[in-house]
Structure formats: structure tokens, C-alpha cells
A and B are shown apart, each in its own frame.
Chain A
Amino acid sequence: MTVVVARVLDCKGLSCPLPIVKTAQALRTLAAGDLIEVLATDPGSVKDFEAWSKVTGNELVAASQADGVFRFVLKKKG
């Protein structure tokens, strides 16, 4: 099933905490309930996004990995 996302953020090659910073900044431009897809290569991003999602209330809808690229889909709270 294809998920329609409002924005795709390429954070490949960025190290902690830049993927989170870029995601947080991008979410500010989206509406409540919008989905954002983030692609990252930093292995620390798995824990970072899980923790950040809990702290901020922006639900981590999906998390997967393929060929060294992590894919996260988050839903803006509200």
C-alpha cells in the first residue's frame, strides 16, 4: 500500500543531530496530521527518531531499512 507523504527529506550522509534538526524544521512547515518521509544513513538515527518521536508526540508511523538507508515516516501531531 502506498503512503502519501507531504514531504520527503533526504538526510543521507548527515550525522546526528542534523537528521532530527532538518525533520523538526520541515515539520514546522507542514499541517497537523501530515506525513513526512525521512531518508538517513546515520545508524544512530534509529534511536534518535524513536526517542524524538516519543518526546515530541510526532508519531513514528513506519521505520525500515534497506541497503544501508533508513527510512522513517512521521506524522505531525495535532
Chain B
Amino acid sequence: MTLTETEVTRTIDARGMACPGPLLALIGAIRQGQTGDTIAVLSSDAGSKSDIPAWCAKAKHEIVEVVELSGHARFVVRKTH
């Protein structure tokens, strides 16, 4: 099941934005958000496929889904604490 735009708390379109990059944008949104929020980040950066899961594992937030789209990927992360 793929979460649609309306089902996430917030979407960040970081496509083509090399700095500070999709992972930092995600961390900022997690810091700012409430427990239970789902944050979607759109990234055209190939590195996000390893960066985002690595941080989520260390910070203990849940990767809800990763969807490959045209020229970018959509990562949905839930703030668990």
C-alpha cells in the first residue's frame, strides 16, 4: 500500500537540491514535527537510498515506504518518538 500525498503529514520536495540535501531536510522536519507524523521526502540524489535508512536506523524512526518514481524516489518516514 502506498501512502498518497494526502495521507502524510508533510511532503518536502528536495529534488535537484544538492545542499543541504534530502536527509538534512528530513531531519529538520522530524525535529520540528510531532510524534506520529509521517514525513515524505522527494529526492533525486542516489545517495539518499543509503543515507536516509542509515540515519533512521540510528535515530530509531520508522521508514514506512520507499517508492521509486521517474528520476527520483519518495521516502516516507514516521517520527516514532
> In the complex, A touching B, CB below 8 Å?
no
